[in-house]
Amino acid sequence: MLFRSSNLALHKPVTTSAAEERPGSNGNDGDTSTLWVADGQAVTNLFPQWWTVDLGDVYDIRKYELFFEEDKLPGFWKYNISVSTDNKTYTEIDQKNDSKDGSRYEEKVLPEAVKGRYVRVTLTGAPEFEGADYWPAIAEFKVYEDTQ
């Protein structure tokens, strides 16, 4: 029987870099139709903005999944993922600047596990909508200890 580890990020405490148009907790509520959205009118520069989940303990992180808002427009989200054991020093474990146009779902299995308690999604760019960038937003972020 295959064993699949649970999503470590589900319902864990979240902090974000910016005022929220929709709450940060929407980013790990288990529902890909609910969004965290930064309040783009409250920040001087839209990007970068970050969303950080506290897993509550140090885990051997091996895989993440990241869902964005449904997007049929040209362009793509740019982001990086970093982890920390103390919420002070972060180490980047992945970055994307070349996702497929309109990509809504990203998945990454790390070459080897990385120890981390805090996992941060930093959005560095967004698809264009009518000549302007989307406000920073994610639909769901999931973290796993194994590769399944």
- Is there binding between residue 85 and Ca ion (CB under 5 A)? no
Q: Which stretch binds Ca ion (CB under 5 A): 29-37, 38-46, 111-119, 121-129?
A: 29-37
- Is there binding between residue 7 and Ca ion (CB under 5 A)? no
Nearest CA among 97, 96, 87, 95 for reference residue 119: 87
- Please count the residues of this chain forming the interface with Ca ion, following the rule CB under 5 A: 5
Q: Indicate the residue among 51 and 114 with the shorter CB distance to Ca ion.
A: 51
- Is there binding between residue 31 and Ca ion (CB under 5 A)? yes
Q: Indicate the residue among 58 and 71 with the shorter CB distance to Ca ion.
A: 71
Check residue 26 and report its DSSP letter.
G
Please state, in angstroms and as integers, the Cα–Cα distance from residue 73 to each residue in 10, 27, 80, 103, 128, following that order. Answer: 29, 22, 21, 10, 8
Residue nearest to Ca ion as judged by C-beta position: 34
Task: Measure the CA–CA gap between 142 and 12, rounded to whole angstroms.
Answer: 11
The binding track of 129-148 with respect to Ca ion, each residue x by CB under 5 A or -, is -----------x--------
> Which of 5, 34, 85, 124 is close enough to bind Ca ion by CB under 5 A?
34
Q: Indicate the residue among 21 and 29 with the shorter CB distance to Ca ion.
A: 29
- Strands 91-96 and 128-129, by their bridges, are unpaired
- Is there binding between residue 25 and Ca ion (CB under 5 A)? no
Nearest CA among 74, 139, 118, 130 for reference residue 100: 74
Task: Measure the CA–CA gap between 109 and 59, rounded to whole angstroms.
Answer: 15
**Which spans of this chain sit near Ca ion (rule: CB under 5 A)?**
26, 29, 31, 34, 140
